């Protein structure tokens, strides 16, 4: 049974999670770069470019590095996100995430016409979303837009379809994953449609300069310092009893599982990211990931534990094991 904890809510320092969507020519890439430049501080900006090198056309105006993707499988996005080192970069722009949904080797192409395929495709898509939101960088994701339609009852009870404006090209409901979502029109007006920052409710920016948006958002992102993560300590070797033999613990005393005594509960996003990385590192098929993950946890942590009950130290311990596994693998080209 999951242990229920009630505690006072605290607003911690957080990273920007911004989505911008609009039609071609609305200025999504330029606006993303302007906002990133105002956010970056003393680190660099990295752009994951899926638009055939279009971001690099702004290299004379902005200083940034780029990863160009030509295949849009969720794993390609995940590997690109993981390659952006938080010690070097502070802002990650993904331009755009629409290709993960409808591009070559994207979710729609993998699912095809057989609805049963979504049982395999959905975990892949969710892993991409987890990687995007779980990175320790500010994230600005752009999305293409299309005309949205609604079905309603007309005269005589007949159904009719009417246009209801533009919507992002991505999985339905993707807007819920971001703290701030803005739509852009062909006149380069950024209109905030969804936000957790009260000062941005119904806000709009005509030809946004970047700094005008960031001057509102940056103070909102600031909060209390995150609690220090408890570092996993190596187990202390047993002391000799003087007769050359190691003492044995009383039968009634079980060894303490990693980090369960002092470590706080881990964030769900950290658990999901570690789980996703485990699957990639060990080559686990997605339909077998749940059972493999449970066995891995039990073997390495010496206890049965549900994901919501995992501590920071336990997640850190598993993440270190996964990292060592990843480092032991030979690099392969995306898509092979």
pLDDT tens figures, 8-61: 888 888 999 999 999 999 999 999 999 999 999 999 999 999 988 999 999 999
Claim to verify: residue 161 and residue 276 sit in the same structural domain? no
Range of the structural domain that residue 116 is part of: 17-221
pLDDT digits (tens, 9 = 90+) for 76-130: 999 999 999 999 999 999 999 999 999 999 999 999 988 889 999 999 999 999 9
Residue 251 lies inside a defined structural domain of this protein: no
More confidently predicted of 228 and 295: 295
Interaxial angle between packed helices 28-39 and 211-221, expressed in degrees from 0 to 180 and rounded to the nearest 10:
50
Say if residue 49 is in the same domain as residue 189. Answer: yes
Q: Which residue has the higher pLDDT, 250 or 274?
A: 274
Beta bridge partners of 290: none
* Residue at a domain's end among 221, 239, 259: 221
Q: Is residue 229 part of a domain?
A: no
**Local structure of residue 23 (DSSP, 8 states):** -
204 in Cβ contact with 190 (< 8 Å): yes
pLDDT-based confidence at residue 275 (cuts at 50, 70, 90): confident
Q: How far apart are CA 100 and CA 319, in angstroms?
A: 26
Q: Are 203 and 189 in contact (CB under 8 A)?
A: no
In a domain, 281, yes or no: yes
pLDDT at 2: 67
Residues 6+ apart with CB under 8 A from 205: 189, 190, 212, 213
Q: How far apart are CA 47 and CA 33, in angstroms?
A: 9
pLDDT, position 160: 67
Residue 245 lies in a domain: no
| DSSP H helical ranges for the chain | 28-39, 74-83, 98-102, 107-111, 118-134, 211-221, 268-282, 289-301, 312-328
Per residue in 212-243, pLDDT (tens digit) is 999 999 999 988 776 654 333 334 444 444 45
Residue 64 belongs to what H/E stretch? none
Rounded to whole angstroms, the Cα distance separating 89 from 3 reads 37
**Are 276 and 217 in a shared domain?**
no
* Same domain flag for 97 and 155: yes
Among 221, 236, 255, identify where a domain stops.
221
pLDDT for residue 27: 95
Based on the fold, state whether residues 206 and 290 are members of the same structural domain: no
* Local confidence band at 306 (pLDDT 50, 70, 90 cut-offs): confident
Tokens representing 229 are 């993560």
What mean pLDDT comes out for the span 126-150?
A: 90
CB contact at 8 A, 183 and 164: no
CB neighbours of 75 closer than 8 A, spacing ≥ 6? 124, 127, 280, 334
Instruction: Provide φ and ψ at 111, rounded to 5°.
Output: -70, -35
Kindly state whether residue 25 falls inside one of the protein's structural domains. Answer: yes
Task: Confirm if 182 and 193 have CB atoms less than 8 A apart.
Answer: yes
Give burial (CB, 10 Å; 0-12/13-18/19+) of 299.
exposed
For the segment 174-196, the average pLDDT, to the nearest whole number, is 95
Q: Is the pLDDT of residue 296 over 70?
A: yes
Determine the average pLDDT of the residues in 156-180.
82
Do both 298 and 188 map to the same domain? Answer: no
Q: Is residue 252 part of a domain?
A: no
Q: Count the domains in the chain.
A: 2
At residue 63, the pLDDT reads: 97
Structure tokens at 188: 């380069």
- 201 and 63 in a single domain? The answer is yes
Looking at the structure, do residues 168 and 290 belong to the same domain, yes or no? no
User: Last residue of some domain: 221, 242, 276?
Assistant: 221
Q: Which burial class, exposed, middle or buried, applies to 100 when counting CB atoms under 10 A from its CB (0-12, 13-18, 19+)?
A: buried
C-alpha span between 137 and 87 (Å, rounded)? 10
CA–CA gap between residue 119 and residue 171 (Å, rounded)? 15
Q: Are strands 189-195 and 204-206 parallel, antiparallel or unpaired?
A: antiparallel
Whole-angstrom Cα Rg for the chain? 23
Residue 63 belongs to domain with CATH number: 3.40.50
Which of 33-37, 150-154, 200-204 bottoms out in mean pLDDT, i.e. has the lowest? Answer: 150-154
Q: Which residue has the tokens 């900006």?
A: 45
Residues 299 and 160 in one domain: no
Report pLDDT for 233: 35
Please check whether residue 54 lies inside any domain of the structure.
yes
User: What is the reported pLDDT for 230?
Assistant: 34
Residues 28 and 103 in one domain: yes
Q: How far apart are CA 251 and CA 262, in angstroms?
A: 24
- For residues 152 and 29, membership in a common domain is answered with yes
In a domain, 7, yes or no: no
pLDDT of residue 162: 61
Same domain, 204 and 321: no
């Amino acid at each position: 049974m999951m242990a229920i904890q009630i505690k006072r809510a605290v607003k911690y320092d957080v990273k920007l999670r911004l989505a911008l969507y609009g039609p071609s020519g609305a200025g999504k890439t330029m606006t993303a770069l302007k906002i990133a430049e105002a956010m970056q501080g003393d680190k660099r900006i990295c752009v994951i470019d899926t638009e055939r090198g279009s971001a690099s056309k702004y290299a004379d105006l902005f200083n940034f590095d780029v990863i160009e993707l030509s295949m849009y499988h969720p794993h390609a996005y995940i590997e690109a996100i993981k390659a952006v080192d938080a010690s070097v970069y502070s802002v990650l722009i993904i331009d755009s995430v629409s290709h993960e949904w409808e591009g070559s080797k994207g979710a729609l192409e993998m699912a095809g016409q057989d609805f049963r395929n979504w049982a395999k495709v959905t975990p892949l898509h969710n892993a991409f979303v987890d990687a995007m939101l779980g990175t320790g960088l500010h994230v600005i994701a752009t999305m293409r837009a299309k005309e949205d339609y609604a079905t309603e009852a007309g005269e005589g009870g007949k159904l009719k379809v009417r246009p209801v404006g533009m919507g992002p090209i991505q999985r339905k409901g993707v807007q819920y994953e971001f703290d701030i979502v803005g739509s852009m029109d062909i006149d380069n007006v950024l209109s905030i449609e969804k936000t957790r920052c009260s000062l941005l409710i119904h806000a709009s920016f005509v030809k946004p300069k970047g700094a005008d948006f960031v001057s509102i958002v940056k103070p909102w992102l600031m909060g209390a310092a995150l609690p220090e993560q408890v570092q996993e300590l190596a187990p202390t070797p047993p002391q000799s009893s003087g007769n050359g033999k190691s003492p044995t613990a009383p039968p009634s005393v079980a060894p303490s599982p990693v980090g369960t005594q002092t470590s706080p509960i881990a964030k769900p996003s950290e658990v999901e990211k570690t789980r996703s990385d485990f699957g990639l590192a060990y080559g686990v098929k997605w339909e077998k990931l749940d059972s493999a993950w449970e066995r891995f946890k039990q073997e390495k942590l010496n206890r049965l534990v549900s994901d919501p009950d995992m501590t920071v130290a336990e997640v850190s311990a598993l993440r270190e094991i996964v990292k060592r596994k990843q480092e032991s693998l030979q690099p392969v080209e995306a898509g092979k």
